[in-house]
Structure 1
C-alpha cells in the first residue's frame, strides 16, 4: 500500500493586506552562505602591503648594467701594468721545444762538429740527448725506404742492441773506472750514425750491384763513423788516447753492420 505524504498548503500574500511602514530603514540579514569569504593565508606570514603603500622606484637599464659591470669587473689601474704583466707571463712560459728538451741549435752544432772528423769538439757532446739520434734514425730509414727497403724496425733494433753492446763492453774494459752510462751510449751511437746516413743518401745514385768502388766508398764512411765515435768515447770512458784503438774495434763492427744494410 503506497504511503501518503501530507503537503501543507502554500499561501501567497495579496495586495489587500496592508504593509507596515516604519520610519527607520532596516537591513535584511543575509544567510551565512552568501557572505564573501576571504582567501586563506599561509601561517606565520606578515600582512601584505597594499598597492598604495608601495614606494615608486625608477628603473634605468643602462645605468644598472653599467653599475653591475663596474662592480664585478673593475677597470685596470693602468695600461703599463697590464702590458708588463703580459710580458712577464710570456717570458716565463717555456716553449714547446724546451718542454720536450729539444735544442735545435745544439743539434746543429753537434752535426757540424761531426762533419769535420779531424776537428771534432767533444765538449759539445758532454751533454747527451736523444733528439739528434732519433732525427738521424728517421733520415736513415727514409733513405732506405726510397731505395726500396722497409727497415724501420731493423734499424731501431740494431741501434738499441749496438748501444747496449758498446755500453757493456766498454764498462768491462774500464772496470771500476768506467763511467759510461746507457743514455750516453745511445746518444754517441746515434750521433755517430751521421756518416752512414750520408752514405745511404749517396747510395741512391750508385749502381745497385756491389762493386769494388762501392766497397771502398762504404769503407770510407765506416772509418769516418768509427773515428768520431772512438774519439768521443775515449775522452769520457777510459780517459787516455792510447786506448782509442781498443775502443774503435767494437765501433767498427757496429757501423760495418749498418753499412751492410745499405749495400745489400
Structure 2
C-alpha cells in the first residue's frame, strides 16, 4: 500500500523569482542611456534672446545685452565704400567737371582722391583690351612716370617757396583729366584701323581737350604759377599725347 505525502503549495512573492531578495533572474532590465543627467544636474538653458530675462547677473542677460549692443553698433557703422575712401557722388561730380573743356570747376578737385583715377585707368585698359592691345603694365608705368614728371616740372617752375602742389593732388588731377583719352580709346573701336587722317584728327581734338583741362586745374589749385601756364600746358600735352599714341598705334 503506497503512502501519500502532502506537499504544501509553493507561493512566489509578487516581485517574482525564487529568492525574494534577488528577484527573478529572467526579468529584463530596461537599459539606461549613458551620461543621463540626474534630477540634481543643471537644467538646459535656452539661448533665445527674446525669452531670456535681461538681468545682468545671469548668463542669459549678458548674452542679450551683448547682442543688442552689437546690433546697435552695426547700424552706426559707415558704409563700406566710405570706409574704403570711395565716394561715388564725389567721383561723378569731378568727372562731370572735366566734360566741359572750356569751363573747368577747380573747387570740385580741391579734395584729391585716387579712386576716380583708378577707375578711369581701368576703363582705359579695358577699352585697349577690347581693341586687342594688352597694355596694363605699360599704362600703369606711364601713369606713375607722368605724375612724377608733372609734379617735378610744376615745383621747379613755382620755386621752392611757392611750390605748394603735392604728389597726391598731382596724381589725382592727371588721372581725372584722362577722361578725354578714355573716350578716345572707346571711340577708336569704331574707327577704321591703320593710317587714317580721321584717327589723327580725332586724337588731336581729345589731346587738346585733356591738356586744357589739366593745365587749368593745375594753375587754379596752386599759387604763383599763372605766368607759367604755357609751360605747364606743354608738359600736360606731352603726357596725354603719349597716351593717345597707345590708342592710335
What TM-score, normalized by structure 1, do the two folds share?
0.69
Are 2:229 and 1:244 aligned? yes
Hey, what's the Cα distance between the residues in 2 that align with 1:77 and 1:260?
64
Instruction: From the CA coordinates, give the structure whose radius of gyration is larger.
Output: 1
Long gaps (5+) in structure 2: 1-37
Contact kept, 8 Å, 2:207 with 2:237, in 1: the verdict is yes
Of 53, 61, 69, 1:74 maps to 61
What per-residue deviation string (whole Å, max 9, x for no partner) do you get for residues 192-244 of structure 1?
A: 10100000000000011132221111111000000110011001224454432
Are 2:242 and 1:254 aligned? no
Higher helix proportion, which one? Answer: 1
What per-residue deviation string (whole Å, max 9, x for no partner) do you get for residues 32-77 of structure 1?
A: xxxxxxxxxxxxxxxxxxxxxxxxxx9488x944699764213999
Coordinate RMSD, CA, aligned: 2.8
Aligned residues: 203
Of 184, 192, 212, 1:199 maps to 184
Hey, what's the Cα distance between the residues in 1 that align with 2:212 and 2:94?
15
Of 138, 149, 156, 2:140 maps to 156
Contact kept, 8 Å, 1:230 with 1:251, in 2: the verdict is yes
Alignment match, 1:116 = 100
Contact kept, 8 Å, 1:196 with 1:259, in 2: the verdict is yes
Long gaps (5+) in structure 1: 1-57
Of 73, 77, 86, 1:93 maps to 77
Alignment match, 1:7 = none
Hey, what's the Cα distance between the residues in 1 that align with 2:108 and 2:152?
24
Of 127, 140, 143, 1:143 maps to 127
Contact kept, 8 Å, 2:158 with 2:225, in 1: the verdict is no
Are 2:217 and 1:232 aligned? yes
What per-residue deviation string (whole Å, max 9, x for no partner) do you get for residues 90-113 of structure 1?
A: 342122212211111100111111
What TM-score, normalized by structure 2, do the two folds share?
0.73
Q: Which secondary structure does the structure 2 equivalent of 1:177 belong to?
A: coil
Alignment match, 1:105 = 89
